């Protein structure tokens, strides 16, 4: 088909860029649209843009219709942390046409070479708080709102274009109301006493700036060895506190501190809101907010958003404390299932699910390509 690639610059063009997937997936029952207003803020005023650069392009047909989109992201902090010279691509969507996909990727490649980069990888955002990873398995399942969805032809076309794998992330679906064996409860109580740990009330962390600083320090250190992870800076952490922490629920949160009141480990979950976001169709008004708030109060599935432990506490078994604490809360209620956040397939933390009744849910991939000439 005939098409041309056009850079996205104006606010009006960015809004069309954002809305393209809504049309592409209009007849798909698994696609979960993000809120257009949130997406606009991410693309234009994210605190990550203090150090990142972003460029956007669309593929436009001869009839003037958008048939594909992509964003290129230059993240110098990522390159410094991982000692790499890579440009990222994200917000990558396209009709079932290899030439469209190839032309869009080529724009990011060209920009990357202009910046002196040697490789291109993605789909990625600025950091791990953005949605990332192209879906390669689990196309019949509905993703959590913080995870991408794409058609099955996406990875097929990537293979046809010769773009290779960097890393795969896996997600599982867990029976969340099965309860906790008494033996495991006793072990966790022993761990709490042995290491002089305690589980804090979430009001403490919401109202204590020192605990908040300790939380993000622990978060940054917990995942520093993970592929493509970038430590959050202060502006990014402040935004997360503003947007997410007021929504923390006592029964879905487990923050563990040591005897010096430093964050040792954490488990943060949220109600699964995918169905309400589907009903909202990218809009908060007039009815989107109603659907989202209704599901926030009445849900039977949760998303395991952030699970981790500070380096000093890793490999000591204390992750079972937050698992047990949250699982104990869930067995008392109506929650049936939990969907894990994407975890690298070779991450030892993935093995924790062997304790539970679970099934594979989704697999997603980050691709990597050499762009040197």
Model confidence over 194-217: pLDDT tens digits? 999 999 988 888 888 888 999 999
Which of 169, 185, 201 is the last residue before a domain boundary? Answer: 169
On whether residue 181 sits in a domain, the answer given is: yes
Contact 172, 353 (CB under 8 A): yes
One domain, residues 238 and 269:
yes
Structural domain total, the chain: 2
One domain, residues 252 and 203:
yes
Domain that holds residue 129: 3-169
232/314 Cα distance (integer angstroms): 20
One domain, residues 196 and 91:
no
On whether residue 259 sits in a domain, the answer given is: yes
Confidence label for 318 from pLDDT (cuts 50, 70 and 90): confident
On whether residue 66 sits in a domain, the answer given is: yes
One domain, residues 347 and 199:
yes
271/327 Cα distance (integer angstroms): 14
Q: At residue 370, does pLDDT exceed 70?
A: yes
One domain, residues 64 and 195:
no
Contact 267, 253 (CB under 8 A): yes
Contact 253, 325 (CB under 8 A): no
Confidence label for 281 from pLDDT (cuts 50, 70 and 90): very high
On whether residue 207 sits in a domain, the answer given is: yes
261/124 Cα distance (integer angstroms): 34
Query: What's residue 351's pLDDT?
Result: 63
198/161 Cα distance (integer angstroms): 52
338/354 Cα distance (integer angstroms): 14
On whether residue 187 sits in a domain, the answer given is: yes
Mean predicted lDDT score pLDDT of the chain: 92
Which of 132, 149, 169 is the last residue before a domain boundary? Answer: 169
Query: What's residue 73's pLDDT?
Result: 98
The enclosing domain of 296 has a CATH number of 3.40.630.30
Among candidate residues 121, 124, 140, the one with its CA nearest the CA of residue 132? 124
CB count in 10 Å sphere of residue 196: 10
One domain, residues 204 and 325:
yes
Instruction: Name the DSSP class of 285.
Output: T
Rg (CA), the chain: 21
Among candidate residues 82, 100, 109, 81, the one with its CA nearest the CA of residue 368? 109
One domain, residues 313 and 258:
yes
Q: Rank 146-155, 259-268, 337-346 by mean pLDDT and report only the highest.
A: 146-155
78/297 Cα distance (integer angstroms): 38
On whether residue 31 sits in a domain, the answer given is: yes
Q: Note the pLDDT tens digit of each residue in 162-177.
A: 999 999 999 999 888 7
One domain, residues 334 and 305:
yes
Among candidate residues 176, 221, 123, the one with its CA nearest the CA of residue 330? 176
List beta partners, residue 53.
Answer: 74
Higher pLDDT, 321 or 172: 172
One domain, residues 181 and 158:
no
One domain, residues 115 and 7:
yes
One domain, residues 162 and 185:
no
Contact 120, 79 (CB under 8 A): no
Which of 149, 169, 189 is the last residue before a domain boundary? Answer: 169
Q: Residue with structure tokens 């896996």? A: 170
Contact 175, 361 (CB under 8 A): no
On whether residue 356 sits in a domain, the answer given is: yes
On whether residue 245 sits in a domain, the answer given is: yes
One domain, residues 260 and 286:
yes
């Amino acid at each position: 088909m005939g098409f041309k690639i056009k850079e996205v610059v104006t606010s009006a063009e960015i809004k069309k860029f954002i809305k393209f997937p809504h049309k592409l997936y209009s007849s798909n029952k698994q696609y979960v649209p993000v809120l257009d207003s949130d997406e606009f803020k991410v693309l234009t005023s994210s605190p990550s843009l203090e150090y990142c650069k972003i460029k956007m392009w669309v593929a436009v047909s001869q009839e003037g219709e958008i048939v594909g989109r992509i964003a290129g992201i230059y993240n110098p902090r990522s390159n410094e942390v991982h000692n790499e010279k890579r440009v990222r691509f994200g917000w990558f969507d396209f009709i079932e046409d290899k030439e469209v996909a190839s032309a869009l990727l080529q724009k990011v490649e060209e920009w990357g070479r202009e910046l002196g980069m040697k490789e291109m990888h993605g789909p990625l955002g600025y950091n791990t708080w953005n949605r990332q990873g192209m879906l390669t398995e689990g196309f019949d399942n509905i993703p959590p709102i913080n995870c991408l969805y794409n058609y099955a032809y996406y990875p097929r076309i990537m293979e046809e274009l010769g773009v290779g794998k960097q890393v795969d992330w896996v997600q599982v679906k867990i029976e969340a109301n099965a309860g906790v064996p008494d033996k495991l409860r006793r072990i966790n109580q022993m761990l709490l006493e042995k290491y002089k740990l305690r589980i804090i009330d979430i009001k403490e962390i919401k109202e204590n700036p020192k605990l908040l600083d300790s939380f993000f320090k622990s978060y940054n250190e917990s995942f520093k060895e993970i592929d493509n992870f970038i430590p959050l800076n202060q502006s990014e952490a402040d935004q997360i506190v503003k947007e997410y922490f007021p929504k923390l629920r006592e029964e879905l949160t487990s923050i563990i501190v040591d005897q010096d009141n430093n964050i040792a480990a954490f488990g943060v979950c949220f109600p699964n809101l995918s169905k309400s976001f589907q009903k909202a169709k990218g809009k908060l008004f007039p009815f989107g907010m109603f659907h989202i708030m209704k599901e926030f109060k009445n849900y039977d599935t949760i998303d395991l958003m952030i699970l981790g432990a500070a380096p000093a506490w890793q490999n000591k078994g204390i992750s079972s404390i937050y698992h047990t604490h949250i699982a104990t809360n869930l067995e008392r209620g109506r929650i049936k299932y939990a969907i894990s956040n994407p975890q690298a397939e070779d991450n030892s933390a993935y093995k924790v699910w062997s304790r539970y009744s679970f099934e594979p849910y989704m697999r997603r991939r980050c691709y990597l390509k050499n762009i040197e000439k």
